[in-house]
Every structure is written in C-alpha cells, then in structure tokens.
Amino acid sequence: MKRVIEPKVLYFGTPVILVSSLNGDGSTNLAPMSSAWWLGDSAMLGLSANSQTVRNLERHPDCVLNLTDKSLVAAVDRIALLTGRRDVPAYKEERGYRYEADKFAAAGLTSIPCDLVTPQAVAESPIHLEGRVRAIHQIDAADSMLRALEVTILRTHVDPELVMAHKEHYIDPLRWDPLIMKFTEYFAGGTVAQPSSLARGWGMPPLPPEALQGERAS
C-alpha cells in the first residue's frame, strides 16, 4: 500500500537548463533552472517571480534556453546559489545565495551572440534555443510567487555530434544525454553526476555514500 507524504519539492526528474535573459544594463543574466517542458514549438518554464530571470523577462521577452549535459554539471553548480538580484531576497540569503553580476565568469562559461535574440548564449551548451516569452501565468495559490512562462522557440542550435547522420533535423537520442535534476540532485545516465550545492542550501537529506561511487569514478 502506498504511503501518503508531503514532499518538500516536486522535482521527479526534469532537465537542467541555463536561461539567458537581458539585464536592465544590457548584460546577460544566466540562471540555472529545472522546471521545463516542451510541446510543439513552445517551451514552458517554471520560475519564481522573485528571480532576476522573471524580472528581466517581464521587461524584455527575449531569452536563450541553454540545455546541459554531464560535462556542464560543475559549471551549473558554481552558479546554483548565485542570483542576479542585487537585493537578494531574505529567504535566499538564508540558504546561502549571494549576488553575482557576471554569471558566465562565475560559472567558467563562454558567452556568444545569438542570431535572433539579444541575450548571449552559452558556447559550451550542446543545444541552445533562442526564444521569446509569449505569456507569463501565475500558478498555484493566489498569493504564490510561482510563474509559468510560455516561450516560443525561434531557432534551435545543436552540436553536429548530436545530429543523426542521415536525418539532419533529428537529434540522436543515443548521443543526447541531458543533465537531469531529481529533488535538487544532479543525475546523468541514471546515476549521480555530482553532489549538489542547491540540495545543501535547501536542506535536503544527503545522498548515501554508495550513491556517489559512480560520480567519484567518473
């Protein structure tokens, strides 16, 4: 018989994305997030209205969705507890977040221009999607700060190594292994990719040592 519980978070397994958005001074903010799904030519992103990303996208709707794989897990984790907001919300400060103006430098990543949108993309990302926010929806309770952002994908850039040899508009599912977040922990190929700073910041139970054996071996 199943047990009734109240999970602290509902992240059963979603891809980790670095979202590029435009700051008020024209620089690019880079933010990791892990509530995203796609349907047709649109993506839906789940974010907090307290984030610099949502503030930016309310003002300027262009964005880049930089998809990640295991090779980027260390870079993602380096900015997991950073925010582009100078006025760091108290609840984030309590969890160890701090302000950082240049997330690309902090992550050790390279910024490159896009074709159709203003924010910079991540050169190291194996797949990045240029997009534009079509609508922002309030979700959950009436006083919730959670937002669902509907993004129209304008152009898709893919590492040639991930494209099927004889099907140029298809990504090879055997070669594409996205970085996944499950309950604030990073996974790739079904195993732990790296211990998560985010999990520690949000007070999640630590992973057992045996779960980290594969991560140490890699």
Burial bucket for residue 120 (CB in 10 Å: 0-12, 13-18, 19+):
buried
Q: Write the pLDDT tens digit of every residue in 76-99.
A: 999 999 999 999 989 889 989 999
> Do the Cβ atoms of 65 and 89 come closer than 8 Å?
no
Q: What is the CA angle 94-48-39, rounded to 5?
A: 145
> Do the Cβ atoms of 122 and 157 come closer than 8 Å?
no
Q: Write the pLDDT tens digit of every residue in 110-122.
A: 999 999 999 999 9
| pTM check: above 0.85 | yes
Q: Residue ranges of the domains in the chain?
A: 14-212
> Do the Cβ atoms of 127 and 67 come closer than 8 Å?
yes
> Do the Cβ atoms of 22 and 119 come closer than 8 Å?
yes
Token output for 91: 């609840």
CATH assignment, 14-212: 2.30.110.10
